[in-house]
Amino acid sequence: MPTLTIDRPQRLTLPRPQQLSVRILEGRVDVIGADTDEVVIEVGAVGDKPFTIGDDDGVLTVHHDADWSRGPQFWLRQTQPRFHTEISLIVPRDCPADITVVLAEVVLSGIAAPVKVRSTNKDLTLLELGAGVDAETVGGPVLARRLHGEARLHTVSGDITVVEAGLDRLDAASVSGAITLDLDVATAGDLDLTTTTGDLTMRIPADSDVFADLQTTRGRLVCGFDELEQKRTFGFKSAGGAIGAGRGRLRAQSVTGSVTLLRRDGDATGRAAGTAADHEEAD
């Protein structure tokens, strides 16, 4: 297909691609997986600077014409409303997606193929993705719901929230952002949560099947599972042991952030509160 220059709102229908590549500087990008053999693109807004839609050897490209090698910090200084773009794409569920934005909100939903996202300071929402997610943001928050398979979620200061997930593997890390993991189905996966100063809060079903390893150096430690062995030495606090058969792994580590593990049943609050008093250290 010829390269199209998009300078006004419009609707396009294109053939199925092998992959989707989006490079948008500012605005909003929605990518929705559906049972379809084509791509429907709804362009809601275009700033003074148009973008292009093209085909690069089977890859559908939706790109602002920019030197992306300069990195996000350069474009954060350059980006103005003239780049503002709002675009929604409906793609086949099995279409891999590679999304890079600077000051754009991103929503990805219903895709059963690998997804890669790079962002800076806007919201990133991941819904019902099923074949691997690799997402990095600087200061933007990440909300992930009903993810399956494997997920890597990294931020510098943005909060990470993962709910209703059925993950085989989760790698969630932030420097100063908080990480929240709330599972409503028992897990035997490999869950790894790490922060430097951000708080870690996890709630998992009582019948989960993981070996837990919780550590914090200067933060509070709150543990709602009596079966975990809890230790405190020279300000370093830890709790560890098997929940169920311990086939999976739950590792949560922070330097100065609090680490909280709650059990998802009727007495979660009571158990957690009783343990918190024993493990809280004054600043």
Mean pLDDT by 10 residues, the chain (283 residues): 92 96 95 97 93 94 75 54 88 97 94 95 94 93 94 96 91 97 81 96 91 93 90 87 90 95 66 41 41
Decide the pairing of beta strands 51-56 and 10-15: unpaired
Closest by Cα among 97, 100, 46 to 72: 100
Which pLDDT does position 275 carry in this prediction? 41
Q: 124-127 and 115-118 as β-strands: parallel, antiparallel, unpaired?
A: unpaired
Give the pLDDT score at 274: 39
Query: Given the DSSP bridges, would you call strands 51-56 and 59-64 parallel, antiparallel or unpaired?
Result: antiparallel
Distances (CA, A) of 272 to 121, 146, 221: 34, 26, 10
For position 77, what pLDDT does the model report? 55
Pairing of the two strands 166-174 and 190-195: parallel
- The C-alpha atoms of residue 175 and residue 261 are separated, in whole angstroms, by 19
What per-residue confidence (pLDDT) applies to 165? 86
pLDDT at site 76? 55
Instruction: Output the six-digit token pair for 241.
Output: 């042991």
